[in-house]
Amino acid sequence: MNIFHLIPSFLQRMIRQFFTFIIIIISIAIALIQTNIAYNKSLAKPVYGIVNNDKGKVSKKVLDALKQKDNAELVITDFEKGMDKLNNHEYSLLLVFNDDFSEKILRGNYKKTIQIYAYATTFTNTSFENDLIYQVMKNWALEFFMLESIRAFKKHDVDLTEDEIQSLREDLQEVIKKDKLVNIKLNYINDKTLLIRDANKINTLHALNWYLTFSTFYLFVSGVWFIDIQNHSLRLTLKQKRISEWKVYSSISAAIVIICTIGLIFTGCLASFFFSEPITIFLSYLHYYVLYYFAMTGVMIFVTAFFNYPAALLIIAPIFSFINAVLCGLLYDLPKWAYNINKVAHILPGAWLSDIITGKTETILYLFMISLLYFVIGILVTKIVRRKNVKGI
């Protein structure tokens, strides 16, 4: 019996198992739900509380300009209510204009004019903060220029009238309205290196990575098939039918990979449809994910060599699935202090897959080599451990 007869046989048996459908369907569902939550969160505008203690015109100009950007919801409030909502995480930050804000800006002084209150654990630099700095500096620069211009004229014994000052201010405002005082050529560098959080902004990849994590759990639970092979009577039957163990291992692995890949295809297609992304994104990564599954079957064969009880696999499977995903950087970027951990994690296939997704390597060779290595080592270790445990077989 050749391997092409064995694969459909094992595939049919696995599909008939109830837990196969349950785990794969749950993996697809959680991957899409989690991606949808992340997607909606990215679309939601942050809410910023604004306390304007300034009675001048400059703060009003800054706020009007920020509202036009429409990248955040601005809520005018007082300090006490604002701090209460900040503490309850209803506001992402609380922005306070000091009472002398306009007065200082009109004098050409921009220091200590604004206070921002935020939690360091939740606040991240946003376009709003950049817009705020830009608007404050723009208004300060305008007033500073006017003051310096008046001083320069006075040095030459020229006193500008109010109409002349107003005319100069209007001319400067026209220049500012053009919004581009300097022409800059932007040169894009073809650097494909990303962080995993940047790659996960592509919703299809985000969904695939979450499905990959949960389907790894199914892959490890399927290790019970390799435990069954170690049964004495089954091995005698295989020997009588002249079916080599290599064929059996390869057939079972292929069947597991096919089932995981079917779920992966459903996840990729559904994510592409729901999030209106081209399906070519999913297809361009499909072969990498399939190779990862083959590599993980090798890891699983290696693990099952030391655990002869299905219950042990049920305990190991969820722990290993998430530790593997986190250490390999498939879900989240590791902090800088964990750099060496990431290096060590490259003994696992997931780290190489993460490198491919984030563009740190473009070759599939490393992933292929580690897949083949784990598969061969897994089978060899299984034989060695079995011979030690069961003599004469």
Residue 114 DSSP code: E
Residues 293-324 pLDDT 10s: 888 888 888 777 777 677 777 777 778 888 88
Say if CB 353 and CB 325 are below 8 A apart.
no
Strand order in the sheet with 73-76: 73-76, 47-52, 93-97, 114-117
Angstrom distances, CA of residue 134 to CA of 62, 159, 281: 9, 31, 37
Name the one residue in this structure whose structure tokens are 């009675």.
Answer: 55
Task: Give percent above pLDDT 70 in the chain.
Answer: 73
DSSP 346: G
Domain segments of the chain: what residues?
A: 3-39+195-389, 47-177
Q: Using CA atoms, how far apart are residues 49 and 71, in angstroms rounded to an integer?
A: 14
Q: 47-177 has which fold?
A: D-Maltodextrin-Binding Protein; domain 2 (3.40.190)
d(CA 153, CA 161): 11
- DSSP symbol at 8: H
Model confidence pLDDT, tens digit, residues 8-42: 877 777 777 777 778 888 888 988 888 888 777 76
- 139 closest CA partner among 53, 48, 65: 65
pTM (whole model) above 0.75: no
What share of the chain has pLDDT > 90, as a percent?
A: 3
Q: Are strands 114-117 and 47-52 parallel, antiparallel or unpaired?
A: unpaired
